Structure 1
Amino acid sequence: MKKTSPLFLFLLVVNALYSSAQKLPPVFGDETQYQTDSRVRSYLTARRIVWMSDHTGAFIKGPQNLLLPGSGQADLVHKNFCTLKSTDKIKPGIVLDFGKEIQGGIQLVTDQPSNHNPIRVRIRFGESVSESMSDIDTIQGATNDHAMRDFTMEVPWLGTIQVGNSGFRFVRIDLVEPNRELQLKEARAIFEYRDIPYLGSFKSNDQRLNQIWNTGAYTVHLNMQEYLWDGIKRDRLVWVGDMHPEVMTINTVFGKNEVVAKSLDHARDITPLPGWMNGISAYSMWWVLIHRDLYKNQGDREYLRKQQRYLVGLLDQLIGKTKDHSEALDGGRFLDWPSSENSKGVHAGLQAMMVMTLEAGAELCLILDEPAQAAKCKETVSRLKLYIPDANNSKQAAALLALAGLVDAKKANTEVISQGECERFSTFYGYYMLQAKAKAGDYQGALDCIRNYWGGMLDMGATTFWEDFDLAWTKNAAPITDLVPEGKDDIHGDFGAYCYKNLRHSLCHGWASGPTSWLSEHVLGISVVEPGGKTIRIQPNLGDLQWAEGTYPTPMGIVKVRHEKQTDGKIKSTIDVPKGVKVLR
């Protein structure tokens, strides 16, 4: 036998240790051949059975076994399984509820029927019960867009199969073929997510607000997949404008996370100038504003410098899209969908966004040692501020005009934003409406809208916030958690507009998370003054709350606060900040 040299053995050990350190199997060799990320998977057991096609026991037996915790392993014990049996005329089906919206798929474990051939089943994922019961058609808008949520597949005899990659809470399983028997030992949801801690927190004496804060955080967490998506069922894309509320939530809840830079850089790299990100001029402006807010929170100058060349070119392009005192942007002229038909309102909003973007650009250029470009931005802003277009009763435009300082925030709030309270809010621009109300000092009005508008989704069974929402939809609607009774509206299938009609409507949209960062910024009162959290300001606004407490992540460490309203109305605050952090009051 040929003797192995000590050097060869040494090299084998070194290679194995290196591969282990990289968490890569040694057999793969070149690590450039594959990629990893920080996502993990968990397996969830169904919480309840929502619906069954058969209650006689003739075609579905032992359904309660699907509510038992499973192992994911087929075995030869042949106990505790659910049997679905079909005939020429009967094709049994069952709907499972996994308790909350998740991103992922489903794992099916089968037992040992006499027929060894694979069995065809139909799988339907649903963000609502009605979606899980729907067909792909033109009636209720159910689709397989972005993610397959309705398909037929084969499952093995005495085996395990995992399938699906969508956003869902409910799953319907149907036998497709006649005269077959499916012995289903387990049907577990596969939950895919980034295993990251919730560093930020919010708690008050109002449980509804607490739930809203947590729901916004969870909504964004689900969308932190390979990239930062806007929706986990539909809109699994990097929409840069939609990212702004998401990034503000990530800053508030998770602190620095790789998915933000990865997504911003992706948008930059696939959009060479003079293109507009996602084809929308405002979305390229949001890219600048995100970088300003990201730098403010994280203080990562090295990362900001990587944007310098593109940023300067984009700012030149934006400056070139002005005429006299007005924005003259081309490309898609868009704020959000509910405001899209109000062309005068869109123009007013874009004028405000140009002012905000060029002011942010000037800030970033000074940090990046580009004083001449900063001066060009400031000169353009001075010209743009000479013209203040009418919001045309658009709450979106009024909010942006107030935030840009083009109109008085109190006037914008009183005359436009507060009219009808939460009427004509949108889940995306609702964040900027809340910010404008805060600038106007209307903290109580903002809290009321958060409770009523975002809380209205919770009342309909939501565990994540939606692509759009109107309180008027709820007047005669059934929640998403059950079959829609006769005479009731389907909150998911009967409403929506534009690209999100009926069941195509996404019920987990990251742009709807605005209250999470707003509550931390304005109720807890925590705002970053010096990049990287070296200086923070703490100015709580409790409104009708008796107390509020929470945490906020910074690169310096975790900020902790508690505010209590005293009998004389004054607020007593307890503040704990990391060493080296300066606090302004």
Structure 2
Amino acid sequence: MLESALNPQAGKAQWIWYPGDFEMMLLLRVHSRRYERGMQITPCWHMDTFFPNIKFRRRFHLEKPVVFQVHATGEVAVEVDGGGRYCYDYQDGVRLEPGSHDLCITVFNPHELPALYIDADGLQTNGAWEASNVDSRWLPAGSWNFTSPSCPPSDFRLEMQPLQPVSVEKIGQGVLFDFGKEMMASLKGEGFKGEGILHISYGESREEALNYAECEVREDVKVTEDCFETTLPRAFRFVFLAPEGGLSAGGLTALYEYLPIENKGSFECSDDLLNRIYDTAVYTLHLNSREFFFDGIKRDRWVWGGDACQSYLLNYYSFFDSELCKRTMRALRGKDPVHQHHNTIQDYTCYWFISLYDYYLYTGDAAFLREVYRNARTLMDFCLETTDERGFMNARPEDWVFVDWAPINNKGDVSLIQILFARSLEVMALIAGLCGDENGRAFYHSLWQKCLKNCFEIFWSARYNCFTHGPAAASDAVVTKYANMFALSFGYLSEEQKAAVIQNALLNETVLPITTPYMRFYELAALCDAGCYEDVMGFLREYWGGMLRLGATSFWEAYDAAEQGAQHYAMYGRPFGKSLCHAWGAGPILLAGKYFLGVRPEAPGYEKFTVSPHLAGLAYIRGSVPTPGGAIDVFCDGEKAEVVNHTPFEGALEWKGQVVAVPPGQTVSLG
């Protein structure tokens, strides 16, 4: 069941490629499409690419003769049964007689992804083939749902839907189009008269679209006919067209570009504001779920490890698209040798390791962990190169220690980094065990214990009774929430320490507040883990509700209620630098599914699960959480809690101190 749920194309012929290279091809495309004010902006980190020369091989046995056609993206050499036995006329079909055969096919293409497709009786390309970049190392070939010989993986495109503006307003010599909500789309203009230059300014806000000089994204199009189309999708709600010369503006259609994924989760409650928050969070995540999980669709339109780590978790409670998760994780990891931390950021490398554990817990897909284990080991080797006698990972001069957008000192020892590194070592021990590497499991386990022990010795403050941001013994030691909330959620605290962290860090109003949805996501999850559900409900209404009250149609990169008017759009020293559609703003999805509906896996792939709903002052909640084996539906009001189990696994319903088993395919209630 798991195989069919995670790979619906199993059993069909598929295009195959060198593992990870499909993601490298897509990533190069994605990272080349960011333009600001006419200038291409490329990532500030090392980028890998696909290998141009790939051999594919398979040993198989035929019961009867077969003639097969070779479909490939690139130049092809077909060798049958070794010894240089090439089929020079393979274009007319290759005939093989009954018996056992060794087939080796080379595909060369320095410009596009080398890929291969064969579909014949008894001989199909699929993940059972092996691939090599001619380095004497053979790996299971990469594949996905490309099952037509006429649609190779290099033709991958997102889907498109034409959308009309909800209002059109003439302003001076130009026209402002309002499409009603945030989107990522290219433009199609029709009914234009004359010829001339059309100045196009895109805006996530009305103010941005009307400010051609300072808007983040703009372009100039030479219009010589009555219609035109732009080539790249842009993020916007508003578009302002300013024609020049003898040109008169006509109508405008947005060609909305999207990944066709369905929200398999749901949430509804007695509070309409919370329902709107949930719906907007899902829309925000969908807009940023594309070839990969993006950080934001206006800026940066790149794949960042910290943003992606949250998107995976949100995905498990909404779209449950495991392929999108794997694509993003492969893309972030890249190829060996390791040159730098993910996106040059220490903490983002740690989030990649942590994401592997989350992926396994929610999907049960151990095959993916086995696939990436070798690359995980070499990435961890890169991290271990800078560890000291305490087991702490130290920053290289070129490393960025991010933590959060906040006025904090991240020089030297930073408690959050070491807590994340400890968790990364713990995850590596788990993966090594799953892959049968007992020596590796013992090695990483000992490093994890050493690092975690020293985290408490160096950063736990007897004075503040919680973690400090830097060493607790320093004269300028200060409490921040970061290490405290992660240590709580990772289960690293005793009950006494947990209570102290909640009081002295998480709910302490003198501690530096978190203003980004990025870290507020983890803060609120930690508070829920600590049982502070009503506090979290208040934060949701205040923080995410605050954005909705300002007219947001998707959630932002950051929000500060103290700001006024157009101040809300400014960031990075630019008046419209802030992203108003950022994936890390979609955190309410997790809070709704994992904490209020209370559905969480207790064993990989939901083979065991618990449902522990929390009303947090609401009159009722209802919703659905997707799993690899089916949905788990939940309803709860003041009188009862009910679970409908559509999975093949048994779970447990916990409510008001009572616990009852939820058998597969059954409806169970308490109250």
Corresponding residue for 1:123? Answer: 200
Q: CA deviation at 1:122?
A: 0.8
Matched, 1:511 2:576: no
CA 128–348 in structure 1, closer or farther in 2 if over 3 Å, else same: same
Is the 8 Å Cα contact of residues 348 and 401 (structure 1) preserved in structure 2?
no
Q: CA deviation at 1:428?
A: 0.5
Q: 3-state DSSP class of the match of 2:602?
A: strand
Q: CA deviation at 1:460?
A: 1.4
Q: How many residues align?
A: 489
Is the 8 Å Cα contact of residues 205 and 237 (structure 2) preserved in structure 1?
yes
- Counterpart of 2:636 (choices 563, 566, 577) is 563
Corresponding residue for 1:45? Answer: 164
CA 584–279 in structure 1, closer or farther in 2 if over 3 Å, else same: same
CA 405–161 in structure 1, closer or farther in 2 if over 3 Å, else same: closer
Is the 8 Å Cα contact of residues 96 and 172 (structure 1) preserved in structure 2?
yes
Is the 8 Å Cα contact of residues 271 and 277 (structure 1) preserved in structure 2?
no
- Counterpart of 2:479 (choices 393, 412, 418) is 393
Amino acid at match of 1:416: A
CA–CA distance in structure 1, aligned partners of residues 522 and 567 of structure 2: 29
Q: Which has the higher contact order (CA 8 A, sep 6+)?
A: 1
CA 465–33 in structure 1, closer or farther in 2 if over 3 Å, else same: closer
Structure-to-structure mapping, 1:328-407, within 5 angstroms: 328-331=393-396, 332-339=399-406, 341-343=408-410, 347-387=414-454, 388=456, 389=459, 390-391=468-469, 392-407=478-493
Q: 3-state DSSP class of the match of 2:178?
A: strand
Corresponding residue for 1:168? Answer: 236
CA–CA distance in structure 2, aligned partners of residues 382 and 337 of structure 1: 26
CA–CA distance in structure 2, aligned partners of residues 322 and 23 of structure 1: 46
Of stretches 258-267 and 544-553 in structure 1, the one that deviates more from structure 2 is 258-267
Q: Deviations over 1:145-204 (max 9, x none)?
A: xxxx21111234333434442111000011122xx25251x2111111011111011111
Structure-to-structure mapping, 1:546-561, within 5 angstroms: 546-561=619-634
- Counterpart of 1:444 (choices 519, 522, 534) is 534
> Any stretches of 5+ residues in structure 2 without a counterpart?
1-91, 94-116, 121-144, 460-467, 470-477, 654-671
CA 23–360 in structure 1, closer or farther in 2 if over 3 Å, else same: closer
- Counterpart of 2:333 (choices 250, 253, 268) is 268
Q: Deviations over 1:296-323 (max 9, x none)?
A: 1111122221101111233344445433
Give identity over the alignment, percent.
24
Amino acid at match of 2:481: K
Of stretches 313-322 and 504-513 in structure 1, the one that deviates more from structure 2 is 313-322
CA 325–25 in structure 1, closer or farther in 2 if over 3 Å, else same: closer
Structure-to-structure mapping, 1:468-507, within 5 angstroms: 468-473=558-563, 477-478=564-565, 489-492=566-569, 495-496=570-571, 499=572, 501-507=574-580
Is the 8 Å Cα contact of residues 423 and 470 (structure 1) preserved in structure 2?
no
Is the 8 Å Cα contact of residues 109 and 161 (structure 1) preserved in structure 2?
no
Q: 3-state DSSP class of the match of 1:169?
A: strand
* TM-score, length of structure 1 as denominator length: 0.78
Amino acid at match of 1:448: G
CA 204–346 in structure 1, closer or farther in 2 if over 3 Å, else same: farther
Q: CA deviation at 1:136?
A: 3.6
CA–CA distance in structure 2, aligned partners of residues 195 and 311 of structure 1: 30
Corresponding residue for 1:98? Answer: 179
Structure-to-structure mapping, 1:196-211, within 5 angstroms: 196-211=261-276
Q: Deviations over 1:375-403 (max 9, x none)?
A: 22221222223332123222223322333
Corresponding residue for 2:294? Answer: 229
Matched, 1:252 2:317: yes
Q: 3-state DSSP class of the match of 1:505?
A: coil
Is the 8 Å Cα contact of residues 334 and 346 (structure 1) preserved in structure 2?
no
CA–CA distance in structure 1, aligned partners of residues 149 and 228 of structure 2: 24
CA–CA distance in structure 1, aligned partners of residues 259 and 330 of structure 2: 20
Q: CA deviation at 1:508?
A: 1.0
Matched, 1:410 2:499: yes
Q: 3-state DSSP class of the match of 1:415?
A: helix
Q: CA deviation at 1:22?
A: 6.7
Q: CA deviation at 1:284?
A: 1.3
Q: CA deviation at 1:210?
A: 1.6
CA 187–229 in structure 1, closer or farther in 2 if over 3 Å, else same: same
Q: CA deviation at 1:101?
A: 0.4
Q: 3-state DSSP class of the match of 1:172?
A: strand
CA–CA distance in structure 1, aligned partners of residues 331 and 526 of structure 2: 31
CA 308–23 in structure 1, closer or farther in 2 if over 3 Å, else same: closer
Is the 8 Å Cα contact of residues 319 and 380 (structure 1) preserved in structure 2?
no
Q: Deviations over 1:198-218 (max 9, x none)?
A: 101111111211222222221
- Counterpart of 2:343 (choices 275, 278, 287) is 278
Amino acid at match of 1:398: N
Q: 3-state DSSP class of the match of 2:377?
A: helix
Amino acid at match of 2:422: V
CA–CA distance in structure 1, aligned partners of residues 295 and 308 of structure 2: 7
Q: CA deviation at 1:324?
A: 3.3
CA–CA distance in structure 1, aligned partners of residues 149 and 321 of structure 2: 29
CA 410–345 in structure 1, closer or farther in 2 if over 3 Å, else same: farther
Q: 3-state DSSP class of the match of 1:503?
A: coil
CA 423–562 in structure 1, closer or farther in 2 if over 3 Å, else same: same
> Any stretches of 5+ residues in structure 1 without a counterpart?
1-10, 55-91, 144-148, 479-488, 567-571
- Counterpart of 1:461 (choices 551, 560, 572) is 551
- Counterpart of 1:302 (choices 367, 392, 407) is 367
CA–CA distance in structure 2, aligned partners of residues 229 and 183 of structure 1: 33
Q: CA deviation at 1:121?
A: 1.1
Is the 8 Å Cα contact of residues 362 and 606 (structure 2) preserved in structure 1?
yes
CA 326–303 in structure 1, closer or farther in 2 if over 3 Å, else same: closer
Q: CA deviation at 1:344?
A: 6.9
CA 243–181 in structure 1, closer or farther in 2 if over 3 Å, else same: closer
Is the 8 Å Cα contact of residues 181 and 237 (structure 2) preserved in structure 1?
yes
Amino acid at match of 1:106: L
Q: 3-state DSSP class of the match of 1:551?
A: strand
Q: Deviations over 1:438-487 (max 9, x none)?
A: 122111111111111121111111111111122221xxx23xxxxxxxxx
Is the 8 Å Cα contact of residues 422 and 452 (structure 2) preserved in structure 1?
yes
CA 190–372 in structure 1, closer or farther in 2 if over 3 Å, else same: same
- Counterpart of 1:520 (choices 582, 590, 593) is 593
Is the 8 Å Cα contact of residues 345 and 402 (structure 2) preserved in structure 1?
no
Which structure has more helix as a fraction of its residues?
1
CA–CA distance in structure 2, aligned partners of residues 251 and 227 of structure 1: 15
Amino acid at match of 1:170: F
CA RMSD of aligned residues (A): 2.7
Is the 8 Å Cα contact of residues 361 and 374 (structure 1) preserved in structure 2?
yes
CA–CA distance in structure 1, aligned partners of residues 225 and 275 of structure 2: 47
CA 302–556 in structure 1, closer or farther in 2 if over 3 Å, else same: same
Amino acid at match of 1:129: R
CA–CA distance in structure 2, aligned partners of residues 255 and 395 of structure 1: 30
CA 329–367 in structure 1, closer or farther in 2 if over 3 Å, else same: same
Matched, 1:134 2:211: yes
